[in-house]
Structure 1
Amino acid sequence: MTQLTRKEMLDFLEGRNDSELFAHAAAVKNQVFGQDVFIRAVTEFSNYCNKRCQYCGLRAPNREIDRYRMPRETILDAVEAAANNNVGTIVLQSGDDFHYTTEFIGEIIQTIRSRHDIAITLSVGDRKISEYAYWRECGADRCLVKLETTDPELYARYRIGEQFSDRLERVDALREQGYEVGSGVIIGLPGMTVETTLNDIVYLSDLDLDMIAAGPFIPHPQTPLADASIGSIPLSHRVTALLRILNPGVNIPSTSALSALNPESQGQALLRGCNVLMPSLTPEEHRSKYTIYPGKNENHATATASLAAAKDMIRSLGLTPSSSKGFSKRNQV
């Protein structure tokens, strides 16, 4: 891990030398990944969730959301669309929805594996470790387990009824099972400071993750944080730039939250150290219902348009949309 002093990182986070920070992050990214940008096509197959997270529009107490669950063939059709468009990774994402059995998800993974040469990422929440072990045997490659904050007090405040230590144990267990593991934080949750943000950066960098995500907080009107302030785009860019410098071979997405606030800021992040885009390929009738935060999936009417726009943006920046599976290079640099 590249060494920076705490004082240097605080100065960067406070915006004292953005040009130096972003140039450094871009140089590191280019050295490791070149001009390639990996595309992860996300299929959001259910917006049911049993959690009560204070910041998320999918939270169980939200009675205003239009809930949906996608059947087997609809999920597989979305994956087919991704594969036919030369996408190297599919992300199967949902809220914590136990309607889907271990065997159902396992069969989906096995079917994808039999039909397509494509990496499979799971983002399905706090299922049992034994379930994840089974899905790994079925052919899943990666797991996303977001922390949202590494401050145990803030974690307990915003993830009601949960303990930070339990989440960390899950990250460790998944790594031991052979998954590439991704995690990340939300920038600008109420109560966060520059100091806690720096602590997040250092903590995430010490976890030996394969993917690290950091995007700005966007308050959802149907949550307890409806009146909170929006997270800072410049601060989000500084966080991902520092993460790139500290973790040269890790995959770092330019998050959809950036696009929801300002589409240009998502492209900027790709020029400041990020190397992944995660467009939604959820079918049109469901896309706008996956409302983790306002503005998600609303920039394009269809899944095909979403993917085309992602590739067009990458090319407009002088970068290359890669069809690679895009595995982590954290052990190669």
Structure 2
Amino acid sequence: MKQFIEQLEHENKLPPETYKALLEGYTSELAEFVFSRAQATREKYYGRTIYLRGLIEFTNHCQNDCYYCGIRKSNRDLTRYRLTPETILACCHKGYQLGFRTFVLQGGEDGYFQDEKLIPLIEAIKTAYPDCALTLSIGEKSYSSYLAYYKAGADRYLLRHETANTLHYSKLHPKSLTLSKRLQCLNDLKDIGYQVGMGFMVGSPYQSIDCLVEDLLLIERFKPEMVGIGPFIPHHATPFAKEVAGSIELTFYLIGLIRLMHPRVLLPATTALGTLDPNGREKGILAGANVLMPNLSPVDVRKNYLLYDNKICTGEEAAECQQCLKNRMENIGYQIVVSRGDYTTSPSVS
């Protein structure tokens, strides 16, 4: 198996049957080999630096009813909220003072936030913080809307594809949502010029090894600037409430494989990793990740933006969370830096 890892490291691609063999042949020893090669690859391009993204969860209203998501439309027990532009800008101000140079506006697909509200908000953030990157994560929109956000100043867009298998996609979403539409949105974003992020859940219901192979092949073809993956974690108010959480060990392994496949990718160690394992984010970094996304949202609304159960950091102030992460990264030999943390096209000079 190690020869396949070395092949991936040098060629950045593999045939489908080889990806399948690597997934079916997982062992902890093989994973450690993947992690060692992934660390070396990441450090070639990014050194031992870790980038921060300040996450602002600005609305938990959503018109969709995805079967895995805690803020789905059918969750009637959830206290819904929308942050005002003034509150969002206050979150950015706090984040900037703490050293954040990327802000991520994330929310459900909320019909209230039409273009006439989003475009002035994007312009206000970019005017106030011209040296910062702005990432949007607000779901499926029209090409014209994506273009308008980009012209207003948005730099990046996160839109997880969730699964690259059409049948699997249909088992995770209502009929109103299709994989073809999701992929069209990703292609639109890339065509416009965004730095684009995609990703998937590991261990979601009905997922097979073949599904994961399709995910890897899609990432290999699309070459996004960002990839976000995390283990599936059930939420009590969804149809998948009694399903088993995804494997965190397999998630780490996939992070390493994605790093070798796409050496320059911006790859977060997600909150879901820290939810399933107290040292999950550190292990994610050691598997090949190089991004962390602390929460800048007001503390009083965080408990209402739970995509899955037992999410961590729902009660910490941003400053406390950042200092904690800084210490934890230093303990494993990495350094959080004040930087936009853009996708790089050349090896690190550090």
TM-score bracket relative to the smaller structure: over 0.9
Question: Given that residues 95 and 296 in structure 2 are in contact (C-alpha distance below 8 angstroms), is that contact kept between their aligned partners in structure 1?
Answer: yes
Aligned equivalents of 1:74 and 1:186: distance in 2? 31
Please state how far the C-alpha of 1:254 moved relative to its aligned partner.
0.6
- 1:214–1:201: structure 2 CA closer, same or farther, 3 Å change rule? same
**C-alpha separation between the residues in 2 aligned to 1:25 and 1:300?**
33
Indicate if the aligned counterparts of 2:299 and 2:315 stay in contact, CA closer than 8 A.
no
Write out aligned runs for 1:198-217 (5 A).
198-217=213-232
Is the CA contact (8 Å cut-off) linking 1:249 and 1:328 kept in structure 2? yes
Partner of 1:242: 257
Shift of 1:8: 4.7
1:21 Cα offset (Å): 1.0
Given that 1:9 and 1:242 are in contact with CA atoms closer than 8 Å, whether structure 2 keeps it comes out as no
**Ranges in structure 1 where 5+ consecutive residues have no aligned partner:** none
For residues 77-226 of structure 1, the aligned pairs below 5 Å read 77-116=90-129, 117-160=131-174, 161-226=176-241
Aligned to 1:15: 26
Residue 222 of structure 2 aligns to a residue in which SS? coil
The one of 27, 30, 35 aligned to 2:43: 30
RMSD: 1.5
Q: How big is each residue's C-alpha offset from its partner over 1:184-206, in whole Å with a ceiling of 9 and x where there is no partner?
A: 00000111122221221121121
Q: Is the 8 A contact 2:313 2:321 kept in 1?
A: no
1:268 corresponds to 2:279:
no
Q: In structure 1, what residue type is equivalent to 2:137?
A: S
Superposed displacement of residue 6, structure 1: 4.4
Q: Distance in 2 between matches of 1:315 and 1:81?
A: 23
User: What is the one-letter code of the residue matched to 1:259?
Assistant: G
Alpha-carbon separation, structure 2, partners of 1:299 and 1:264: 17
**Number of residue pairs matched by the alignment:** 332
1:68-91 deviation line (CA, Å, top 9, x unaligned)? 111111110001111111112100
Match of 1:286 among 293, 301, 305: 301
Letter in 1 for 2:200: V
Equivalent residue for 2:66, pick from 24, 38, 53: 53
For 1:69 and 1:26, locate their aligned partners in 2 and report how far apart those are by CA, in whole Å.
Answer: 39
SS in structure 1 of the partner of residue 121 of structure 2: helix
2:109 and 2:139 in contact (8 A); partners too: yes
Structure 1 residues 256 and 284: alpha-carbon distance in aligned structure 2, compared to 1, 3 A threshold: same
The amino acid of 1:64's aligned partner reads D
TM-score by length of 1: 0.96
* CA contact 2:13–2:220 (8 Å) conserved in 1: no
Question: Alpha-carbon deviation of 1:297?
Answer: 4.2
Q: 1:28: how far off?
A: 0.6
**How far apart are 1:294 and its partner, in Å?**
1.1
Correspondence for 1:68 = 81
Shift of 1:5: 4.9
The whole-number CA distance in structure 1 between the counterparts of 2:120 and 2:328 is: 35
| Contact persistence 1:281–1:307 (CA under 8 A) | no
Q: Distance in 2 between matches of 1:299 and 1:93?
A: 16
| Contact 2:274–2:312 (8 Å) recurs in 1 | no
Equivalent position to 2:338, from 323, 326, 333:
323
Work out the CA distance in 1 between the residues paired with 2:16 and 2:37.
17
Residue identity (%) = 31
| Matches of 1:139 and 1:158, distance apart in 2 | 33
Residue-by-residue CA offset, 1:9-37 (whole Å, 9 max, x unaligned): 33443423112111111111111111011
Query: Against the structure 1 CA distance between its residues 215 and 114, is the aligned structure 2 distance closer, same or farther, given a 3 Å change threshold?
Result: same
Q: 1:122 & 1:308 partners in 2: Cα distance?
A: 25
Moved over 6 A (4+): none
Q: Residue in 1 aligned with 2:8?
A: none
TM-score by length of 2: 0.91
Structure 2: 5+ residue runs without aligned partners? 1-10
Paired with 1:200 and 1:180, the residues of 2 have a C-alpha distance of: 19
Distance 2:317 2:286 in 1: 26
Distance in 1 between the 2:306 and 2:269 partners?
18
Contact 2:115 2:145 in 1 (8 A): yes
